[in-house]
Structure 1
Amino acid sequence: MTTNKNKIINDPVYGFITIPNDLIFEIIQHPFFQRLRQIKQLGLTSLIYPGALHTRFHHALGSMYLMQQALHSLRSKGIEISDKEFEGCLIAILLHDIGHGPFSHTLEFNLLNDITHEKISVLFVERLNTVFGGALDTALKIFTNQYPRNFFYQLVSSQLDIDRLDYLKRDSYFTGVSEGHIGSERIINMLNVKNDEIVVEEKGIYSIENFLSARRLMYWQVYLHKTAVSAEEMLIKLIQRAKYLTQNGVNVPATPALKILLERNIALKHFEEDSEILDLFALLDDSDIWGSMKFWREHEDIILSGLSTKLLERRIFKIILANEKPLSEWVDALKSKVQDKYQLNSDEIDYYTGSGQISNSAYISSGQKIKILTKKGSTVDIVKATDLPNVKAMSKIVTKHFFCWPEVD
């Protein structure tokens, strides 16, 4: 192993982050992890917020830093955490997003068949565990919720996990959307463990309200921004068209790794049957799509070339976002106009329009709850623990419908 000598990374959000040991340094140096430098945290959101150019690499390191702070805080409150558990938890959060493909969530179910990034992350962690001779055993158990002490898994994945504490603060910083800023340090210092569950001490209840409020606002202003939704829909349609053409014998130039994914409908079983599929996926990042798009805008297929050109030139589809589904008569009339203008047949029109629904749920009260530790030592769900109407309102799921289409006038 290469000695890291307590290597320090300068992070724009937290300042100096120290890599704690050689194993974690070697994991960060591995090509599987380095690939995250080329995958933007917020996909196409930089088309709306120009500063949103930060990557999954940034986020993973930031999450590791916050996990260090959380574990130190819990230790200071008398919670026993062995050095092995400490290291395992840091590795689990460091690798929690390693399974993301190009543009993060946008293409999650289009380049591959019904495989979540979480499942691919497990495959990557298992492979790295083999590479490092079983040194990731504890991290893998924590990551897959197989470790006997459940609160470690909650720190990695829950409604108040370290992942969310970093991405809200980081995404707020890089987009410039100040409403998303949260006091992650105070929240971390308010965490405790009761009955093997992560709880928040009662004096931190207002910090949690701010956290949930920030999450709700960031979804509407950033993650579900209507222009971002439209751009992502265009990218999804573009990949669907590239796959359709490739699988029907049309030559669609692409980078080698992307070419194979266009040719095949790869499902989870293929990863399990052929270890080389994971290595192939590990070669993919945002640049494969952008680079291939530059070839596609010259393609003879008008849909492939049209969508590529529009994305490269930031000519995003118009979009409406409403509480009710658009009237079918209005949608049909608009589709007819699009079909006429872009000379599409009835089988092609769906590539040039998009529809669906988006949901915003800051807190899912039916899920794994955020629990408040009262001064009397009992635990209670955040919704019941507070008299603040905002928290109760944020536990309701808000769904909106959208329809997007290119310029027709």
Structure 2
Amino acid sequence: MVYSEEKLLEEKVFKDPVHRYVHVRDRMIWDLIGTKEFQRLRRIKQLGTTYLTFHGAEHSRFNHSLGVYEIVRRIVDDVFEGRPGWSHDERLLSLCAALLHDLGHGPFSHSFEKVFQLDHEYFTQAIILGDTEVNAVLKRAGDDFPKKVAEVIAKTYQNKLVISLISSQIDADRMDYLQRDAYFTGVSYGHFDMERILRVMRPREDQVVIKKSGMHAVEDYIMSRYQMYWQVYFHPVTRSAEVILTKILHRAKALHENYYSFKSHPVHFYSMFEEEVTLEDYLKLDESVILYYFQMWQEEEDPILRDLCRRFMNRNLFKYAEFEPAKEYKKLAELSTLFQKAGMDPEYYLVVDSSSDLPYDFYRPGEEEERLPIQLLMKSGDIRELSRESEIVDAISGKRRTDHKLYYPLDFICDDSSKKNIKKQIRKLLDIED
């Protein structure tokens, strides 16, 4: 038997709080799970700094990746089975891409990427194509198989139906993280009827379509996503932690560039500081490594790095105020001047953070981040775009919501032991009661 068709003698299962069980029967999937690159995902939190807001949010990219795999397994085995043109090779490719889609995420994911201008999708493809255990497993299915998996991740693979399973407006990735994140944060927003959606899915040439009878389940899914973004993912306290995390990394980089002598030398950061990150360097990073440095940097001589690390490790986060950049830019400039006079560097202690989300979009050909819409299969056999049939979805289609917050250290501002008059002016501008 060829490796790509090889099955385990006995099915393996993972107990899962969202899907009850994750089923593994394919030898290749089991071998991929056992690679060191995939096991690394146990040490990367799915929700970054959200655990500082919702204490249960300690789940990992490993959990989520297994969940996405399980949803895709159910789709290809239950919905696509027997479909003309759907081969065993496409099935295995879909399962591997689902399992490995988040392989390149770094510690604290998006905050980390912004500071060092990294791209997790690039590193996902680099791991799949590089000298790694994952690549060695994939190659057992053929020398070109890793390239096909990387193309699915990059959204360039010729079979768009395969891509749509893990990257579309109603894909396995979103269906897993909404439910998983709701479960671990303890909120009710992310729940929707996934079983119903899976039952009404129908494969078409370029994407999965949804039977019209399942429209209300899809509406519920889209509204769940909308609520999760604003109640969980963009929670202002989580964003405060992300602001401090980002500023720690910026400060460490600035100190390195100015030849500061660290007590605890950031050897794991050097390649990123120099913008010469190798795959080997990248794979050595996980959140335990980052938190080790933050723990040690609480004793550094540099007062800013020391203070920011203490804040992050001890959850002494910045407070926030509503902020409208277009209307309040003069106020921001005035506050920046006052912060400097008070001895607080506004680069690190006065931060505007913006969050933006587009919950659902119709097709905009040629535009950046162009999105395929969710299509409904009508009783007549015609295909209709979702927002043309759903008043609920039509009301939010193409509408981007953006929120701005101004973050600052309330304890510094309220400490009148020095520069009392300046801090009083700051409190007045921020509308903080004395």
- Work out whether the TM-score is over 0.5: yes
Name the CA distance, whole Å, in 1 between partners of 2:182 and 2:308. Answer: 30
Rounded to whole Å, the distance in 1 between the matches of 2:83 and 2:273 is: 55
Q: Deviation per CA, 1:109-167: give whole Å up to 9, x if none.
A: 21x33x32111111111125642335343423433334332111011111111100000
- Post-superposition Cα deviations, 1:196-247, rounded to whole Å, max 9, x if no partner, equal 3221111111111111100110000011011111110111111000011112
Aligned residues of 2:127 and 2:135 also touching (Cα < 8 A): no
Cα distance, 1:260 vs structure 2: 2.2
Question: Counterparts of 1:36 and 1:57 in 2: how far apart (Å)?
Answer: 5
SS at match of 2:64: helix
User: 1:230 aligns to what?
Assistant: 240
Aligned length: 393
Secondary structure (helix, strand or coil) at the match of 2:299 reads: coil
1:150-200: CA deviations, max 9, x gaps? 111011111111100000010011111101112222212221122332211
Confirm whether residue 360 of structure 1 aligns to residue 353 of structure 2: no
How does 1:137-286 map onto structure 2 within 5 Å?
A: 137=146, 138-252=148-262, 258-266=268-276, 277-286=278-287
| Maintained 8 Å contact 1:231/1:311 | yes
In structure 2, stretches of 5+ residues that fail to align are 365-370, 415-434
**Structure 1 pair 264–88 and aligned structure 2 pair: CA distance change class (3 A):** same
1:372–1:322: structure 2 CA closer, same or farther, 3 Å change rule?
Answer: farther
Q: 1:66 aligns with which of 43, 66, 71?
A: 71
Q: Cα gap change, 1:376/1:257 in structure 2, threshold over 3 Å: closer, same or farther?
A: farther
Task: Name 2:336's counterpart in structure 1.
Answer: 335
User: What is the deviation of 1:82?
Assistant: 1.9
Q: Which amino acid aligns with 2:47?
A: L
Q: Which amino acid aligns with 2:358?
A: S
The whole-number CA distance in structure 1 between the counterparts of 2:325 and 2:352 is 12
Shift of 1:356: 3.5
Change (3 A) 1:197 1:16: closer
1:92 aligns with: 97
Contact kept in structure 1, 2:178 and 2:190, CA below 8 Å: yes
Letter in 2 for 1:40: K
Is 1:389 aligned to residue 389 of structure 2? no
Deviation at 1:263, TM superposition (A): 3.6
CA shift digits 1:67-108 (9 cap, x unpaired): 111112322573543222111111101111111100122211
Percent identity at matched positions? 31
Q: Structure 1 pair 369/393, CA: closer, same or farther in 2 (3 Å)?
A: same
Among 379, 392, 399, the residue aligned to 2:402: 399
Structure-2 change in CA distance of 1:390 and 1:196 (3 Å): closer
Match of 2:86 among 76, 81, 84: 81
Supply the AA of the counterpart residue of 2:226: R
- Aligned 8 A contact 1:60 1:97 in 2: yes
Q: Distance in 2 between matches of 1:261 and 1:182?
A: 43
SS state at 1:351 partner: helix
Q: Do the aligned partners of 2:8 and 2:27 also contact (CA within 8 Å) in 1?
A: yes
Q: Which amino acid aligns with 2:211?
A: E
CA distance in 2: counterparts of 1:255 and 1:368, whole angstroms: 47
Are 1:349 and 2:329 matched, yes or no?
Answer: no
Moved over 6 A (4+): 1-4
Q: Is the 8 A contact 1:73 1:189 kept in 2?
A: no
Distance 1:105 1:327 in 2: 27
Counterpart secondary structure, 2:113: coil
More deviation, 174-183/235-244: 174-183
CA contact (8 A) 2:360 2:393 kept: no
- Contact 1:242-1:262 at 8 Å conserved across structures: no
Per the alignment, residue 273 of structure 1 pairs with: none
With over 3 angstroms needed to count, the CA separation of the structure-2 counterparts of 1:385 and 1:54, relative to structure 1, is: same
Q: Hey, what does 1:35 align to over in structure 2?
A: 40
- The answer as to whether partners of 2:323 and 2:406 remain within 8 angstroms in 1 is no
Structure 1 unmatched runs, 5+: 271-276
Q: Which residue of 1 aligns with 2:311?
A: 310
Whether the aligned pair in 1 keeps the contact of 2:64 and 2:177 (CA below 8 Å) is yes
Larger relative CO (CA 8 A, sep 6+): 1 or 2?
Answer: 1
Distance (whole Å) between structure 2 residues aligned to residue 330 and residue 4 of structure 1: 68
TM-score by length of 2: 0.85
Check the 8 A contact 1:6/1:20 in 2, yes or no. yes
1:257 and 1:323 map into 2 onto residues whose CA distance is 40
**Against the structure 1 CA distance between its residues 222 and 7, is the aligned structure 2 distance closer, same or farther, given a 3 Å change threshold?**
same
Query: Which region of structure 1 is more displaced relative to structure 2, 19-28 or 63-72?
Result: 19-28
Letter of the 2:302 counterpart: D
Give a deviation string over 1:279-334, Cα, whole Å, max 9, x none: 21011111111110111111111110010011111111111235664613432343
Task: Determine helix, strand or coil for the equivalent of 2:112.
Answer: coil
**Aligned 8 A contact 1:36 1:98 in 2:** yes
Separation (CA, whole Å) in 2 of partners of 1:230 and 1:325: 21
Tell me the secondary structure at the aligned position of residue 111 of structure 2. Answer: coil
Deviation of residue 340 (structure 1)? Answer: 4.5
Answering whether residue 378 of structure 2 is matched by residue 374 of structure 1, we say yes
- Structure 2 CA distance for partners of 1:175 and 1:79, relative to 1, 3 Å: farther
Q: Is the 8 A contact 2:161 2:204 kept in 1?
A: no
In our comparison, the structure showing a higher alpha carbon Rg is 2
Q: Secondary structure at the match of 1:7?
A: strand
